């Protein structure tokens, strides 16, 4: 067992070493890179526009259909304008995109309560909101610029 030494305070005891390894493991769990995120954006935007019709959302409240479709359109436009691998007009910083995704996840989790969605309408938003927050939280820290790169 390694122990702290008064003459050499840089020596860690075993429990401190295990804590450091645990923190490193948690950091390694964050694997969603900017490129992976970019490849997820377009399919997610289209699914937010198409799935509400296939699932016939809106039985508990008409906004259950419209909120998803509107969010899908906005997500598509956001992706087009985001400064990442698949952005076509790269004027919005990726960090801004992540913040918007986080807000969408929070809104999706709150919407069923705030708007009175029930049944499939509610579960659709809870599952999608949770999925968005998981993806954002698994984002691998990298040099994320707060301003878009010049074209």
Domain segments of the chain: what residues?
A: 1-30, 31-137
Q: Which two tokens stand for residue 133?
A: 């927050």
141 touches 76 (CB < 8 A) = no
- Tell the residue number behind the tokens 């997500």, with chain if given: 75
In tens digits, what is the pLDDT along the chain, a chain of 151 residues?
Answer: 444 555 555 555 555 555 555 555 555 675 667 788 888 899 999 999 999 999 999 999 999 999 999 999 999 999 999 988 888 798 999 899 999 999 999 999 999 999 999 999 999 999 999 999 988 888 877 644 555 555 5
Nearest to 65 by CA among 103, 104, 120: 120
- Tell the residue number behind the tokens 């900017």, with chain if given: 34
Burial of 115 (0-12, 13-18, 19+ CB in 10 A): middle
Note if the pTM is more than 0.85.
no
How many CB atoms neighbour CB 55 within 10 A?
A: 16
Q: How far is CA 90 from CA 6, 21, 53, 73, 95, in A?
A: 55, 38, 31, 18, 13
In angstroms, rounded to a whole number, what is the distance separating the alpha carbons of residues 75 and 108? 14
């Amino acid at each position: 067992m390694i122990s702290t030494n008064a003459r050499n305070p840089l020596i860690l005891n075993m429990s401190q070493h295990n804590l450091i390894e645990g923190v490193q493991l948690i950091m390694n769990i964050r694997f969603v890179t900017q490129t992976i995120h970019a490849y997820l954006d377009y399919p997610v935007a289209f699914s937010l526009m198409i799935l509400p019709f296939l699932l016939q959302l809106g039985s508990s409240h008409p906004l259950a259909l419209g909120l998803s479709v509107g969010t899908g359109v906005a997500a598509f436009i956001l992706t087009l304008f985001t400064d990442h691998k698949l952005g076509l007009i790269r004027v919005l910083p990726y960090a801004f995109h992540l913040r918007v995704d986080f807000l969408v996840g929070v809104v999706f989790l709150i919407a069923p309560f705030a708007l009175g969605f029930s049944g499939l309408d509610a579960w659709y938003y809870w599952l999608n909101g949770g999925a968005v927050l998981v993806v954002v939280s698994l984002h691998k820290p990298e040099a994320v610029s707060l301003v878009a790169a010049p074209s």
